[in-house]
Each structure stands twice: as structure tokens, then as C-alpha cells.
Chains A and B, each alone.
Chain A
Amino acid sequence: MIVQEPIQVIVWDCLNNYEFDNAVFLAERLHAEVTSEETAFLLGTCYYRGGRVNEAHHLLQNISLTLPQARFLLAKCSLELKFYKDAELALGTKDTVASEFGEQAPYALHLLAKVYNITERRSKAADALRKALSLNPFMWKSFTQLCQMGEKVDPNSVFQINNTEFTFGVSTLVNLVSNSENISFVNSNISNNSNLNSNVTPNNIAARTPMTMSTSITPETQAPVKRMHSVFSGMAPIPFSPSFGMLPMEESPVLYSSTLTDANEQKAIPKIVNSLRAHVGQLKDAVFSPGPRCTLGPAPRRSSRLFSNNNSSYSVKENNKSPSRKFVTPKSPSRKNKQRTAKNIKSNTETNERNKSIDTTPTITPKSTNGVPLLNLLRDLGDAFKSLSFLDCKNAIKQFQEISPKQLASPWVQTMIARAHYELAQYEAAAKIFAEIRKQYPSRTEGMDIYSTCLWHLQREAQLSALAQELVELNRNDSIAWLASGNCFSLHKERETALKFFKRAVQIEPEAAYAHALLGHEYAVAEETDKALSSFRTAVSIDPRNYVAWFGIAAVYARQERWKASEVHIRRALAIHPHSGVLRCQLGLAQAALGKMDRALATLERAVSLDAENPLCRFHRASVLLRAGRPQDALGDLHHLKNIAPRESLVYYLLGKVHNKLGNSHLALMHFSWATDLDPKGTGAHIKEGFDPSKQEDTPERSS
């Protein structure tokens, strides 16, 4: 009979060193020899990590799957290939997922929520996401997804480890140890433990018996102080980073500075052992079965073992192929441990023996100490992100500013702040922050589409074209690069090219609602209204909270003078983004056009008070006042505008019309001539064409 496990271990080793082709080859050989679900899962994983999603999907689809891990992988492949039905079949329903997938349940729920979202079952998606969050409070992505869907989530209640449903994945605990320590550890472990599974040939797997991480929870989230052996380090050794996730244990500094010679220190170890005890139970099969949960059989429920002080947890009833692992030796972060191997073994031996004797010591449950600082951070960020998602931008900026300075300087937080400025139409501020981010992280493209839009609004041609060029050079397959290029050419008014680039962006990433919205705007400017409307509708069907698309539809209808429809859509946009001055102005204009002057004036009044920096609110208020037959009142606004923007020709044009209405024809003429001076081709041309102020008092709205 073929011994599978060593080969599996070898394959995992390749995977952990990112040699995917090698891993695929070996896994294929194994699968050819032994066609079982386990080997298929291994091969599928190799394919998936090597980017060969199609093959992974094909492989997993043709066999009946019982392993939850295999089902999860199949679902993931199906989702990427857009086979939503297969994905849903593989995952099950959101009620069964929790029980069937055990530890993987949060991720499976998240995936299931994605499927529900795409197939427009948004309430079910929201449920699934909430469940995922309750199972694993570190699922930040689920939280952001809920916020983006407009669901009310309370960060305070979500980011807590206080519910018993919380399962801590085995793999998440093991990022902390360097490889060489593995070697030493494993050797010693093997020699010490008698209930070693005879399947394993210890020597072969002496070198790092990796276990893939199904998650990549940062080291800070759990017992950071303990340097656990990387029998579980599916990941490449991560140097321990004592950041905010520090376990508040007194000996921690001691431990860090401890060298291997200190490993024999008595005092630190029991505590560490105890706190590890809780985790140990899950690690039972980790050493020799490389898959995260490659147990053939129902995945054991970890949560109960995690939080119960059950020290017999390692002897779990299920397929327990591996020896119980008691090990926790504080390791210094240094990687040059090979030469200390000998010492290591000795210390480990002693540790293990000591461990065996401390069976009854109560465990420090991780939930009370680990991860709490991270959760606090997530809570703060969650509050701020929630404010931003609900477009309460001023609050969001304030909340982001209150984050600790180290996190504040990170590009993600800065991008969020810049986005908040953008939503408030404070393009200058946003552009400045984005420029900083670009300088420090030139290869980061997240949020750069917003940056390009800010530059578009500010009409900074040189910067925008530089940005577009850099992004395209960086990665031609990134839709953000093409959105920036499209914006650049749109600013240059080369519509065809801009459309081409926007279409390219949409082609690369058809699920990006913003790309569709930008394409729609470009169509609208190019006066292809049908295509514009269809693009906007696509954007809205992907993301109903995309107010840019709603505004776009309203603008198209306004252009066609279908004011009723325009008003409806603008209200929709306003419902999403109530603090926006631009949207409110547009609403006021629509109401004025429908003849509801009072409502229009009230709306514009509100706009002016909400958005102090936006001169257009006053401008439109003045124009509506004029239309409503109150030219005198318009004068106040217009004089204010004249002061803050002395070079805007339309202000003078409107002043001219007001004076005309008031009968001050000489003042009117003066203002008209000023307007013409300031902008001979635009306003001036219109004035020349259609208006003779001396002849009539009517506003010259004839088409010439």
C-alpha cells in the first residue's frame, strides 16, 4: 500500500515555498497512484495556488466530495469561474454551513454570501455575512461587505471574542515559528512521543512538516508571546513582530530576549504551556497530515476544546494520527537556529517532559488575552469605516484621525481618509493625500481610480496623464490603470479614446460598479444616452449603493428635460448620500424646472447650509430666485459669489440678467461685457449670439 503521507508532506513543503509547479507535478503523481478524494484535494490545492483554477475546478467537480475542505476549494474555484450554481451546491445553505464546515465555516459563509450577492439574494447574503462574523470576529472583509451593502452592523458588538461560537482555526495559531526550530522540534518530538503514528517516517518529515494555513491571521492575534513550533507553519517563517497584539504577560520581554539557553527557564514555560494547552488540542493532527483539516471524517469541533480547560483534549476521539503535542518553547526571533539545534532538542525534551507533568494546570484561555488589542483596533477602524460607508464623511475623517499614529500612517487608512474627502467633494484635500500615498507606495493601486477622478475634477491635466501612464506601465491588466487613462482622455475631451479605455477597464473587471459608472458618464457626455443609461443600470445592479450611477441617470434625464424621472433618481442618490451639496443642488434644479419653486428654494437653502465650500449651491439658488421672480434676493448671493470667485464669467452673466430684470440696463450691460471679457468663447459667445439687452427685459433664453 502506498504511503501517502510523506508525499503529501513533501507536496505541502513545496507549496509552502511557493514552488507551485513542482508541487503540481508531485501531486499529480500521487493522484495518479491513489485516486482518492484526499489526493484530489491536494492536487486541487496545488492547481489553485498555481493559478490553474480551471483545472482545479474540473478535477474537483468530477468526483463526489465529502471532505469539507475539498468542497470549499471547489466552491472557491467555481466562484472565480463564475459557476455560481456549482459554488452554491458545493457550499450548501447558510444554515448547514456552520455545522458541516466546522472551522472553515466563516470562510465558507463569506464565500456563500458572495454567491448570494451576485445572484441578488441580498438579505440571505447579509445573514451569511453576519454569521461569519459571529463565528470569527476577524473576518474584516465580511464586515466591510456588510457596510457596503448598507446593512447596519455595530462594530462594538461584532469585534468581540465573547461568544462561544467562536472557533479559532488551528492554522491560525502557527505563524510564529521559524523553520529551523521546526526541524529541531520535530526531531525531538518524534523521539519523545510514543504514540506516533506509524505511517509517518519521521526522518522524511523532519524537515518542516508544514501545514497550510487556511487563514493568514497575523501573529498578533493570538498568543503572540509563545513561539510555537512551526510544525504548523504552513507559511514561511514570519519573524515575530511584537506589535499591538502583545500579550500582556509580564514575562514577555524576558521571553523575547530569551535565547535558547534560556529555554530551560522554568517560570515562563508553564504559563506559556498553559495558554497553549487550549490550542494544542487542535494541533493534534497537524504535524503529520499536512492539509489543514485533512482528516478523513468529520472535522472535529474545535471551539469546545479551545475554550474548555480540557486537558485531555489532545486525545480527541477522531482520527488522531499524530502525537499529542505539548511544546512550547519560547524562542528568540532569530532565525539562525540551526547551530542551536542540539541545545534545542535538549530543551524541548525537557519542555515536553515538563509539559506532561502539568496536565492539570488550568489553561489561560486565549480569548481573554489574545487578539484583544487587535480587536480593539478593528473596532475603531470598523466604526470609522462604517461612517464612511454610510457617507457620514466628516465623522469618518474624525474617527480615522483618532487611530494610533502608526496605523494612521498606513496606506489603507490614508486611502480611506482621502476617499472621505472625495465624497465630500473636497477634491484638493483628497488629491493631496493621494499624492502622498503615491509617493510612498508607488506600486499601490487601490484607490487610485478615485485619485484620477479627483484630478479630473480639478482639471490637472499634467498630473492626471502622469498618473495614468505610471499605472498602465505598472500593470496593464489592472482595471484601475485604464480607468485613470480614461479619465485622462476624458479631460482632454478625446471622447472616443476615453470610451475605449473605460470599456477596457469594464472588460477586465466586470464586477466593478464604479467602472461602469464612469463609462456611463463618458457615454453621457458623448451624448450616447442609451448606452449611458444601460451602463448606469449595470452599475446599479451590481451595487445598489453606488450613488454616482444614480446621479448619472438623473443627469441624463435632466439633459433630456425629463425632470420628473430626474427628480426620482436624484432622490435615490440623495438617500444614499444625504450630505452631498452637489446632489442637493441638482435636486433643487429639477424641482425648479418642474415649477415647484418653493420646494426648490428650500432644497437649495439646505444645500447652502450643508456645504459651505460649494459655490454652486449659491449660484443655483440665485438662478432659481431669478426664475421665481425675485431678482433682488438673488443679488445678495451673487455679490457673495463675486467676492469669492471674481473670475467666473457665469456669475457676471447672471448678474447681468438680474440687473436686466430689475431694469438697470446699464449695469446689466456692464456685467455682460465683463462676462464676455472673462470667457469670450463660452459665455461671451452666447451673449453675443442671442441677447440684446437694450431691446427687451425678458431673459434671453431663445436658441440662436
Chain B
Amino acid sequence: MASEKDPLASERSGSVREVGNHAIWSLSSCKPGFGIDQLRDDCMDTYWQSDGQLPHLVNIQFQRKTMVSHIYIYTDYKLDESYTPSRISIRAGTHFNDLQEIEVIELIEPSGWEMIPIKDIHDRPIRTYMIQIAVLSNHQNGRDTHMRQIKIHSPCEPTSFDINKFRNFSTVQFQQYATIR
């Protein structure tokens, strides 16, 4: 289950942060010039093109256990046709041999951002060392896949509300004195 949403809007609201830069990315295969950089460059014109056997994998390894709340994937059927993924599996764990599938989504001619909320059995964002995005199949049974952009969101504030940490006042009158810049 996925829905259209703009990741940038969530980032701007201050409730989530993009944590992809804190992770090490690797791919199962890629065509030269169409690899990780194109996947993370904030540009929808460049894309990752895989070059191997299904399932194609994007591995994201964090240095510490990171809370992940959403994964956003940008694909475009109109541009990529048979390269557009149709079935994506999200796995999480501590390392390559320890991954468990937590989410499977079906895409039908997607065009734009797909938001994949990541929740554990208690409906909370998961805390994990590693995330693997696996493309299980493409549209029109294509072999290779194109993915234009991936973003990982992590919730900003831990939900504890300590009285000492009053940092977010609701009025400017108070907030302007909250810190010195």
C-alpha cells in the first residue's frame, strides 16, 4: 500500500529528517554511469539502471540503529515503461544474512513519488541497522529496472517530552529566545 506524497513537505514540517546521507548505499548491479550517485542526486532526470538478475537490490546500511518511518521511491512509468518496478519488497535487519521482509508493495503504472510507511507490529517506526529495497518484478516483465530517486525519512524528535528540553515554543515571541545563533 503506497500513496503519492511529497517527501520535501514532510521534511519542511520539521517532523522528519532525511537520513540517507548517514548510510552506506550499495546496489546488486548497475550500468556504468547509472548508479548510486544518480539515485541520490535529487534530480529526477537521472536514474539507477540495474544490470543483472532479478531481484535487484538496493542496500542501505546505517552506522547506528536508526529509526526509519518512511521510504520514498520516485519512479515514472511514462518515461521508463518496462523498466518501472511493479513489485517492491522492503527488508530490514542487522546485516545481509539477517534480513526480514517487512513490507511488500505493488505499483501500477506509478508516476512520481511513492511513499512506503515503515511500521513494525506495534505500528511504530522501526529501528534498524540495514534496509534492503528489493525489486521483485517490473512492468511488462522487464528484466532490468530504473529507479530515479530514493529518500529515507526518520522521525526527528524522540517522543519523550522532557520539561528541560522545551525547544519548540508555539509563538515567535518565545521561540526567538530559545537559542542563540
Interface residues of chain A, those whose CB is within 8 Å of chain B, are: 425, 427, 453, 456-459, 487, 492-496, 517-518, 521, 526-528, 547-548, 551, 555, 558-559, 580-583, 585, 589, 592-593, 614-616, 619-620, 623, 626-627, 645, 647-650, 654, 657, 678-679, 682-683, 686, 689-690, 699-704
Contacts and interface: CB of A to CB of B under 8 A. Distances in A.
A623 B163 contact: yes
Given A492-B12, A493-B14, A593-B164, A555 B179 contact: yes
B41 to A, nearest CB: 12
Given A493-B12, A645-B171, A683-B170, A699 B176 contact: no
Q: Which 3 A-B pairs have the closest CB atoms?
A: A703-B160, A679-B170, A457-B176
Contact of B172 (A458, A583, A585, A683): A458
A648 B173 contact: yes
B176 A458 contact: yes
Given A459-B175, A616-B174, A627 B163 contact: yes
A457 B174 CA distance: 10
A582 B170 contact: no
A614 B177 contact: yes
B78 interface: no
Interface of B: 8, 11-14, 17-18, 21-22, 156, 158-166, 168-181
B158 A703 contact: yes
Contact of B178 (A487, A593, A616): A616
B8, B162, B170: residue with the most chain A Cβ atoms closer than 10 Å: B170
B157 to A, nearest CB: 10
A690 B161 contact: yes
Contacts of B18: 495-496
B17 A650 contact: no
Given A494-B12, A645-B173, A690-B159, 7 more contacts: A458-B176, A495-B17, A518-B181, A583-B180, A645-B174, A649-B169, A650-B166
Contacts of A702: 160
Contacts of B181: 453, 456-457, 487, 517-518, 521, 548
10 contacts: A528-B22, A551-B179, A582-B180, A614-B177, A626-B163, A645-B173, A682-B168, A689-B159, A701-B160, A703-B160
B24 to A, nearest CB: 16
Main secondary structure of the interface of B (DSSP, over half): loop
A650 B180 contact: no
Contact of A616 (B22, B170, B177): B177
Nearest to A554: B180
Given A592-B164, A686-B161, A581 B177 contact: yes
B68 to A, nearest CB: 15
A670 B59 CA distance: 50
Contacts of B169: 648-650
B171 A701 contact: no
Given A453-B181, A459-B175, A623 B166 contact: yes
Contacts of B163: 623, 626-627, 654, 657, 699, 701
Contacts of A623: 163-164, 166
Contacts of A592: 164
Given A458-B172, A459-B172, A615 B166 contact: no
Contacts of B8: 494
Nearest to A452: B181
A517 B171 CA distance: 25
A496, A517, A593, A689: residue with the most chain B Cβ atoms closer than 10 Å: A496
A580 B21 CA distance: 36
A304 B162 CA distance: 71
A649 B170 CA distance: 6
A496 B7 CA distance: 13
B8, B158, B162: residue with the most chain A Cβ atoms closer than 10 Å: B162
A517 B14 CA distance: 22
B160 A582 contact: no
A408 B80 CA distance: 65
Contacts of A585: 177
Given A582-B179, A623-B163, A690-B161, A493 B13 contact: yes
A650 B170 contact: yes
B160, B165, B176: residue with the most chain A Cβ atoms closer than 10 Å: B176
Nearest to B15: A681
Contacts of B14: 493
Contact of A619 (B21, B174, B179): B174
Contacts of A649: 169-170
B8 to A, nearest CB: 7
Contacts of B174: 615-616, 619, 645, 648, 650
A179 B87 CA distance: 82
A92 to B, nearest CB: 42
Contacts of A555: 179
A427 B176 contact: yes
Contacts of A657: 163
A585 B174 CA distance: 13
A495 B10 CA distance: 12
B119 to A, nearest CB: 16
Nearest to B168: A682
Contacts of B160: 701-704
Contacts of B178: 582, 616
Contact of A615 (B22, B168, B177): B177
A193 to B, nearest CB: 64
A73 to B, nearest CB: 40
